Structure 1
Amino acid sequence: MQQKPLLGFSLALLATATLGSLPIAAQQALKAVDAPTLVWARFAVAAGAVLVLLAAAKKLPGPSEFSWRTAGLILLGVAGISGNFLLVAEGLHYVSPTVTQILWQLAPFGMILVGLWVFKEQFGRWQKIGLLCLPVGLVMFFNDKFGELSDMGSYALGVALCAFGSLVWVCYGVAQKLLSEKFNAQQILLLIYFSCALVLAPAAEPEQIARIDDVFLIGCFVYCCLNTLIGYGAYGESLNHWDASKISVVTTMIPIFTMLFSHLGHAVAPQVFAAPDMNFLSYLGALVVVGSAVSAAAGDKLFSRKSG
C-alpha cells in the first residue's frame, strides 16, 4: 500500500488526542457510575461496533479457528485489558488523569522485557537508554509527592493501582501478539472486547447508567464508551498509511495531551476540572518519561535510518 504520511500522521494524532482525553472524561463519568459499570459499558459498545463491522465485511472468525490454546490466550488478554481498565478507573478516584498517563508508560517497557524473555527479541541501544531514563523521569515527576507516597494513603493507593494496571496490560499485549498468528487485529479486538463484556457483566450495574440525570455527565459517559472505537480505530488505520515507528513516536505523546487538556479544561471550567498539581520539575520529569518511551519504542529504527 502506498504511504500517505500526512494522513497517517493525522490519524495517529487523532488517536493520541482521543486517548489523552480519556482519563479526564472518565474521572467525571465516575461521579455517576462505578468503575465496573463504566468499563463494562466501554467493552460492550466496542464489541458491538466491531461485530457489526466484521459481519458487514464477512470477516467474522470461524469455529474452526478456535482451539484450547486460543481460548487460553483470549483469557490472558481479557485478564490484561480488563484488569488495566478497572485498576486505572479505580485509580482515578485518588490521582489526576496526568498521573495515570505517566504511569501508563510502564506498559511498553513491560512489553520490551517480556519480549526479551519470552519472544527472544533483541534489546537495542536506544531501548536500553529509554529504560535507564524512565526511573529518572518518574523520580522527577513525583519529586513533590514523596511525602504522600511514603504515608501510604489514598494518593499512594492511586499510584499503585495505576502502576499495577499498566503492568497487567502486558498480559493483553502478549496475548494479542500470539493471537495475531491466527486472527487479524479487528478479530482479536472482537474476541477480547466481547469476552471482557461477558466477564464484567455480573459486576456491572446498568441501572446506574439509567439514573444519570446530568447532561454533562451523560456526555462524558458516552464519550468514554466511544473513545475506544475512535482512538484504536484511528490508530489501526494510521498503520495502513505510515511507518509504525513514526506512529509510535506520536502515540507516546499521550501524557502531553492529557496535561494540555487538563489545563484547557481548568481554564474553561475551573469548578469542574482541576489543574494538574505539578511544579516545574514535575513537568520536566513528564518530558523525560515521554522521551524515554519514544527512545524505547522507536529510537533504534529512527536513528539507525538517519545514520545509515
Structure 2
Amino acid sequence: MSDNLKGILSACVTAILWGFLAVLMKVALAYVGPVEVAWFRFTLAAGILLFYFIIVKPKLLSIVRAFPIILFIAAVCLGFNYIGYIYGLHYTGPSTAQIVIQIGPILLALSGILFFKEKVNKWQLTGFAIAIIGLLLFYNNQLSHFVEVESFNKGFLWTGFAAVSWTVYAILQKKLVAKYDPQLLNLFIYGIPAIMLMPATDFNEFNDLANWQWILLVFLGLNTLFAYGFLALAFKYTQAYKVSIIIILNPIITLVIMTIIYHTSITWIEGEQLSLVSAFGALLLLTGAVISVFFSYKNKAKLN
C-alpha cells in the first residue's frame, strides 16, 4: 500500500469518526450535560495518553520544565471549541452543527492571508464568496423551519464560536508540531481543558447511568483519541490539502445518518431532513470550503 493511499484512508477514518460523533453526542446529551460530556472526553483521552508517556516515553514529559505558553493557549482554545460545539449541538442538531462548524477550515485558510501574508488568488476569493452565500442560505432557511428561533440562534452562535476557537487552536498547533511530538502536544491539549472544566462539572450527572450510556461516553472519549491519531497519520503520509478536503466533507456522513434516522422508526434520537434550499446552502458552504482550502495549499506550494 502506497503512503498516499495510507494517508487518504487515515483521513477517511477521521472523517467517519467525526461524522458519527455529532449524532452520538446528541444522544449522550439526553442523559448527561454538555460540560460533563466535554470533561469526560478530555479526561479519558488525556488519561490514556498520560499512561502511554509514563510507560513508553517518560523523558518527553520534561516539557513541563519549560512549558510553551502557546501550548497552554492552544489547549484553552480547543476547550472552548469542544464546549461551543457541544452547546451548539444541544440547541440545534447534528446536521446544523456539522455544517456551521465548517466555518473553521475557511477561517484557517483566511488566516494564511491575514497573518502569514500569503497571496490571495481569485479562486480563493471565489471559494470564500460561495461559502458565505451558502452559509446565509442555510441559516435563513433553517431558521424559518426551526420551531424555537431563539434556541436555533443560540446554537448557531455557539457553533460559530467553536469554529473560531478551533481556528486559533489549529494555527498554534501548526507552529507547535514543528518542534514537539504531536501526541505529547495532545496530552496537554486534552489535559488542560479537563482540569479547567473540572470545577464546572456536576459529577452527579454520572450517577445512575446505564451500562450502554457508559459505553457511549467511553466511545466519545476514544473517538477524540483515535480521530486525532488517524489525522496525524494522514498528515504524515499524504499532502495536507487532500486531508483537509476529506475532513471538510465529513458533514455529509452526518447528514446521511440523520436522513436515514428521519425515515425510520428510531426513537432514541430525532431524525433531521434538510429542505432543498437548506441542502443547497450546505452544498455551497462545503464547496466553498473545499475551494478555499485547496487553493490555499496550492498557493503555499507556489510561495515555497
Using the size of structure 1 for normalisation, the TM-score is 0.87
Contact 2:87 2:155 in 1 (8 A): yes
The residue matched to 1:274 in structure 2 has which SS? coil
Task: Tell me the number of residue pairs that the alignment of Structure 1 and Structure 2 aligns.
Answer: 301
Q: Distance in 1 between matches of 2:127 and 2:58?
A: 39
Deviation at 1:65, TM superposition (A): 7.0
Contact 2:119 2:299 in 1 (8 A): no
Look up the equivalent residue of 1:44 and give its one-letter code. T
The residue matched to 1:93 in structure 2 has which SS? helix
Contact 2:118 2:300 in 1 (8 A): no
Contact 1:3 1:240 in 2 (8 A): no
Q: Which runs of 5+ in 1 are unaligned?
A: none
Residue 196 of structure 1, aligned match among 193, 204, 207? 193
Q: Which residue of 2 aligns with 1:5?
A: 4
The residue correspondences of 1:16-35 to structure 2 (distance < 5 A) are 16-35=15-34
Q: Which residue of 2 aligns with 1:284?
A: 280
- Change in CA separation of 1:263 and 1:249 when aligned onto 2, cut-off 3 Å: same
Contact 1:94 1:157 in 2 (8 A): yes
Q: Which residue of 1 aligns with 2:227?
A: 231
Q: Distance in 1 between matches of 2:182 and 2:2?
A: 20
The residue correspondences of 1:236-275 to structure 2 (distance < 5 A) are 236-275=232-271
Is 1:187 the counterpart of 2:187 in the alignment? Answer: no
Look up the equivalent residue of 1:50 and give its one-letter code. L
Look up the equivalent residue of 1:20 and give its one-letter code. G
Residue 167 of structure 2, aligned match among 167, 170, 173? 170
Q: Which residue of 2 aligns with 1:54?
A: 53
The residue matched to 2:269 in structure 1 has which SS? coil
- Change in CA separation of 1:145 and 1:249 when aligned onto 2, cut-off 3 Å: closer
The residue matched to 1:240 in structure 2 has which SS? helix
- Change in CA separation of 1:30 and 1:146 when aligned onto 2, cut-off 3 Å: closer
Look up the equivalent residue of 1:235 and give its one-letter code. L
Q: Which residue of 2 aligns with 1:140?
A: 137
Q: Distance in 2 between matches of 1:60 and 1:122?
A: 41
- Change in CA separation of 1:142 and 1:187 when aligned onto 2, cut-off 3 Å: same
Look up the equivalent residue of 1:230 and give its one-letter code. F
Using the size of structure 2 for normalisation, the TM-score is 0.88
The residue correspondences of 1:23-172 to structure 2 (distance < 5 A) are 23-58=22-57, 61-63=60-62, 66-67=65-66, 70=68, 72-147=69-144, 153-172=150-169
Deviation at 1:270, TM superposition (A): 2.8
Q: Distance in 1 between matches of 2:283 and 2:203?
A: 39
Deviations 1:62-90 (A, max 9, x none): 4367547x1x3133112211111112211
Q: Distance in 2 between matches of 1:148 and 1:265?
A: 19
User: What's the % identity of the aligned pairs?
Assistant: 25
Residue 208 of structure 1, aligned match among 201, 205, 210? 205
Contact 1:129 1:292 in 2 (8 A): yes
Look up the equivalent residue of 2:48 and give its one-letter code. A
Q: Which runs of 5+ in 2 are unaligned?
A: none
Deviation at 1:60, TM superposition (A): 5.0
